[in-house]
């Protein structure tokens, strides 16, 4: 089974997310590229992937409810994100999250304090 994918540039739209929906063995997905034509609506197609534990995504506030529904997620990286504190605080309830890497102008250190001590929050503004 496929254990990891890093497809930046090969899935140009939300259709790419839809095509991943049946990959139950998918563990890692790196689509952290603002140039890709993917948005929060596309994330809905992969919310229920049973083994998705690692995600790099160019997050927006409207994407956060979809990411928060990914109950198996252990690692999330959002570089140069335009999402703000409220969106990230919603992720503090993810039961398996262990590592969160965030960079972005709207995220503050207050966001980081919402996460449990066992979550390695790496924050840069």
Q: What are the tens digits of pLDDT across the range 38-54?
A: 888 889 999 999 999 99
Residue spans per domain, the chain: 4-124
pLDDT of residue 31: 84
Which CATH number is 4-124 given?
3.80.10.10
State the pTM of this model.
0.85
- Chain centre distance of CA 85: 15
Q: Percent of the chain having pLDDT more than 90?
A: 31
Residues 92-113 have pLDDT tens digits of 889 999 999 988 888 887 887 8
What residues contact 20, with CB distance under 8 A and at least 6 apart?
A: 5, 11, 26, 29, 45, 46, 49
């Amino acid at each position: 089974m496929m254990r990891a994918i890093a497809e930046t540039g090969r899935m140009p739209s939300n259709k790419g997310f839809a095509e991943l929906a049946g990959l139950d063995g998918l563990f890692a997905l790196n689509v952290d590229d603002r140039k890709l034509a993917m948005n929060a609506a596309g994330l809905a197609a992969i919310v229920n992937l049973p083994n998705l534990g690692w995600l790099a995504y160019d997050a927006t506030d409207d994407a956060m409810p979809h990411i928060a529904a990914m109950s198996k997620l252990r690692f999330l990286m959002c570089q140069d994100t335009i999402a703000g504190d409220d969106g990230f605080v919603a992720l503090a309830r993810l039961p398996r999250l262990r590592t969160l890497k965030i960079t972005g102008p709207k995220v503050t250190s207050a966001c980081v304090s919402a996460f449990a001590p066992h979550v390695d929050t790496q924050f840069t503004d």
